[in-house]
Structure 1
Amino acid sequence: MSIVRYLTHPQVQIDPSVPVPQWGLSPVGRARTEALANAGWLANTTQIVASSERKAIETAEIIAAKLGVMIETREAMHENDRSATGFLKPAEFEQVADQFFAEPHLSVRGWERGVDAQSRIVREAEAVLSRNRAGDVLFVGHGAVGTLLFCHYSGHPIDRAYDQPAGGGHVFAFARETRQILHGWRRLEELTR
């Protein structure tokens, strides 16, 4: 059985003066990813497919270097488009994110609608999986679209109740052939022991 994993990038270097898609990993995020890259559970990974945002590419590069696997980037795997608001302070961001998940058919403050972001990330995942290449697949992306993908494959409605825990650096997995969820969000540290 081939396994498909969706990994969210861990902690980033927050800089309000830099567009969010250009943020890179923080030292903590980099250290967490390096520990993951040394874990054996990724040994059967033959494809690493990342969002083209810097933090996702940096995460994927650390893992790919250890596994000796090339990275494919896909522009449309980006996080939900929040460019209408730009950087929001954490408390305000959480309120808007709550609305994004609670009202997925509406554009909250100009953000990409949840249903549109979900269609986009599912389309990207299915395009990769339709190639039927041997081995496990690792998608490296973001929390919101990762949650939307999880909701799709698990048959749940869009709801923040299914969001990864705070902090990033979480992974869920599903069976490639059946698309059945194998496990929900788990912290990287749970999988590196």
Structure 2
Amino acid sequence: MTWCAYLTHPEVLIDPDVPVPEWGLSDTGRERAAKATVLPFAKDIRQVISSAEKKALDTAQVFSGRLRVFQRSLPFLHENDRSATGFLPPEEFEQTADLFFADPHHSVRGWERAIDAQDRIVNGVKSALRHIPEEDPVLFVGHGAVGTLLMCHLMAAPISRHHDQRRCGSWYRFEKSWLMSQAGRNLAWTVL
């Protein structure tokens, strides 16, 4: 098997009156998304699979459009379901996210449980890879929280915000075979 990369969307246009899944990239976010097309691995990518949320789709389309690779979206890559609270001011959001990671077996304020979001993304990535030739490198484009949950699984580490990205628009690379392995690997986010 070959490798994959996981990329999170960069900066978005935050609008409290628009549902979070419908937020698109800001101008800065689009500029940073374009940086992904010159990463060392970019020319080897054969397929881009993204979340169906607008900010992830925008990021995937920048990448796939510039490098002319096949792109599709799948619902299992969406961010943890936070619709119970909708938009939260930044400080309140960060406090709630801390609780989401700290207590993965319980719902925080009606949010999807972290353990369920992790199961969804891990099984979804495994399922997507079953339909892609083993030798084809794949770029998954999604969101920070579920990307961190996937990373925790790949490292065989407990769910923890300690492994969260420091800035949106970050990425890591992993071997496809690690999804099936019980052995933990060391991974770290790299900022675009």
The verdict on a shared fold, with TM-score over 0.5 as the criterion, is yes
Q: Which residue of 1 aligns with 2:50?
A: 50
Mapped partners of 1:59, 1:175: distance in 2:
22
Does the residue aligned with 1:83 lie in a helix, a strand or coil? coil
1:93-126 Cα distance to aligned partner (Å, 9 max, x none): 0000000000000000000000000000001100
Structure 1 residue identity aligned to 2:82: R
Change (3 A) 1:4 1:182: farther
Q: Does 1:116 align with 2:116?
A: yes
Mapped partners of 1:131, 1:17: distance in 2:
38
Mapped partners of 1:93, 1:144: distance in 2:
12
Q: Which residue of 2 aligns with 1:139?
A: 140
Between 148-157 and 70-79, the greater mean CA deviation after superposition:
70-79
Q: CA deviation at 1:34?
A: 1.3
Matched-pair contact (CA < 8 Å) for 2:19–2:86: yes
Matched-pair contact (CA < 8 Å) for 2:155–2:187: no
1:141-168 Cα distance to aligned partner (Å, 9 max, x none): 0000000000001100000001011x30
Q: Which residue of 2 aligns with 1:19?
A: 19
Matched-pair contact (CA < 8 Å) for 2:155–2:186: no
Structure 2 residue identity aligned to 1:98: D
Aligned residues: 187
- RMSD of aligned C-alpha atoms? 1.4
Structure 2 residue identity aligned to 1:104: P
**Structure 2 unmatched runs, 5+:** none
Matches within 5 A, 1:27-176: 27-133=27-133, 134-165=135-166, 167-176=167-176
**Structure 1 unmatched runs, 5+:** 189-193
Mapped partners of 2:87, 2:20: distance in 1:
7
Does the residue aligned with 1:172 lie in a helix, a strand or coil? strand
Matched-pair contact (CA < 8 Å) for 1:173–1:181: no
Structure 2 residue identity aligned to 1:157: P
Between 61-70 and 179-188, the greater mean CA deviation after superposition:
179-188
Percent identity at matched positions? 49
Structure 2 residue identity aligned to 1:113: R
Q: Which residue of 1 aligns with 2:189?
A: 185
Structure 1 length as normaliser, TM-score?
0.92
Q: CA deviation at 1:39?
A: 3.7
Q: CA deviation at 1:181?
A: 4.4
Q: Which consecutive segments of 4 or more residues in structure 1 shift more than 6 A? A: none
Structure 2 residue identity aligned to 1:143: G
